[in-house]
Structure formats: C-alpha cells, structure tokens
Amino acid sequence: MDDYVPFCGTPPLPSELWSRWTLDPVLLGVLALGLAAILWTTRGVARRQPLLGWALVAVLFVSPICAASMALFSARVAQHLLLTLVAAPLLAPLLKDKAPPPALAAVVFAALFWFWHVPGPYALTLQSDLAYWSMHVSVVGAAVVLWASFRGWVASGPFATALAAAGTGAQMTLLAVLLIVSDKLWHPWHELTTLPYGLDAMGDQALAGAFMWVGGGLFFMALIAGLALRLFGADGRAAGTKA
C-alpha cells in the first residue's frame, strides 16, 4: 500500500493547488451518466434543482477542492458539508415520493456520517479507492434520502420532520464539538500535510469542527425555524378560517 496514490492525488502544495483538477475518465463518465439520467427523467422546471445539484457535485470532485481535501481535513469536511447540505437537497426531488420516514432517514444518515469521520474508517478512504467511494456514495446517498424524506413528510408529519432535523443538527454539532475540544489528532495523515497552508494539524482539525458546527448546527436550526413558522402559520390560518 506504500505506493498507493489516493483518488484525489497526493496532498498538494499551495502553489500547485489550482492546477490540480481531477480529470479521471471513470469519474467523468459517471458524471456524464448522471447528467444523462437527470435529463432523461425530468422535464422543464423540475430539472433546475437536480441540474444545480449535479453541477455542484461535479465541481466538488473535479475541481482543486478534491486535491485540497488531501491536504486539509477542514477542506474534506467543507466538501462533505456542501455535498450533504447543498447538493443533496437539490438532488432530493429525483426520488419523488419514495423516501422513508424522517426518523429512519436521520438515523441512517447519522450512523454513516459518524462512521466515515472517525479515525479508522477515515484512514481507509486514504488507502483505497473502494473505501473512498464507499464513503461518498453512502454518505451523499443517505443525505439525498434524508432531504427527500423531509420534503415528502413535511406536510403530513411536520413534527416528525422537525424532530428528525433537530436530531440531525444535534449529532453534527456533537461531532463538531468533539473535533474542536479533542486534545488528540484524529487523523494522523494530516499531521504534516497542513503545514504548507500555515496550519498545524490540530488547528486544521478544530477548523473542520467549526465548519461542521456552523454548517450543521446552525443550518438545521434555520431549517427547524422555517418548519415552525410553516406549522404555526398553518395553525393560524386554520384558526382564522374557523372563526
């Protein structure tokens, strides 16, 4: 395994980062198939969100962000937050009405998100393309299902949706806090890769936790607030109609 090169390449220096595009033929072929599937299965306005989601996924894996995630754990976390909190809800309409209940979707997403960010499994993604893509396909797939569940159940089960969103935000916040307060380096791979960027590995780990705290915790707090406004607004309209 000593001669293995991770999918996104070796950790780049800052001076070479912007030349590090990932133009792997298999990756580009899968992205092309994904684009074709969206164009084949959607029409008109219904295409807009999935196409935006596809474009963001393409940018996150083809652009130098992929290479940056080899040097900085914080860049990997930022990539994952964009995939799960931005690209996934844009792709969720593709599932239409096939999503499970929010509680189940939230538990599966939480289990996979934690599993792939703790030391052992994370290290595997730097040693094997299979592990790398298992991480991303499972986490992003679970995120798409989670957001499809939110969309599909919010009308008939707003409280269940709000609780699932609260639980998702809470588990991401807890993981973020553990990264920030830990006095041990979770991922030794990054012990030296961060130094050219002016960060030590512990500072990079804390920055990753801060991204997760803001991106996860605050994002889902805003979602819950929106659900509450929708719910109370509906109750207010119903009361006004009865009066």
Q: How confident is the model at residue 1 (pLDDT cuts 50, 70, 90)?
A: very low
pLDDT of residue 229: 74
Count the helix, strand and coil residues of the chain and give each as a percent rounded to the nearest 5. Answer: 80, 0, 20
- Give me 22's structure tokens: 């990932």
Rg (CA), the chain: 19
- Inter-residue contact 102 to 149 (CB < 8 Å): yes
What's the CA gap between 42 and 150, in Å, rounded?
20
What does the pLDDT look like over 112-141, one tens digit per residue? 999 999 999 999 999 999 999 999 999 999
Q: Is residue 145 part of a domain?
A: yes
The verdict on residue 31 lying in a domain is no
Residue 236 above 50 pLDDT?
Answer: no
pLDDT, tens digit (0-9, with 9 covering 90-100), for 43-82: 988 899 999 999 999 999 999 999 999 999 999 999 999 9
The count of structural domains within the chain is: 1
The confidence band for 232, taking pLDDT boundaries of 50, 70 and 90, is: low
Rounded Cα distance between 176 and 178, Å, is 5
CB contact at 8 A, 117 and 78: no
The predicted-structure confidence for 5-47, as pLDDT tens digits, reads as follows 999 999 999 999 999 999 999 999 999 999 999 999 999 888 9
Task: Find the domain containing 130 and state its range.
Answer: 74-242
Q: What angle do CA 145, 186, 214 make, to 5 degrees?
A: 50
59 contacts 65 by C-beta, under 8 angstroms:
yes
Residue 20 lies in a domain: no
146 located within any domain: yes
The answer to whether residue 239 scores a pLDDT higher than 70 is no
Residue 131 within a domain:
yes
For residue 122, tell me if it sits in a domain: yes
Structure confidence by residue, pLDDT tens digits, 84-94: 999 999 999 99
Q: Which of 82, 96, 98, 97 is nearest to 143 (CA)?
A: 82
At residue 194 the predicted structure's pLDDT band, cuts being 50, 70 and 90, is very high
144-193 confidence digits (pLDDT tens) = 999 999 988 877 778 888 899 999 999 999 999 999 999 999 999 999 99
On the question of pLDDT at 225 being above 80, the answer is: no
pLDDT of residue 217: 77
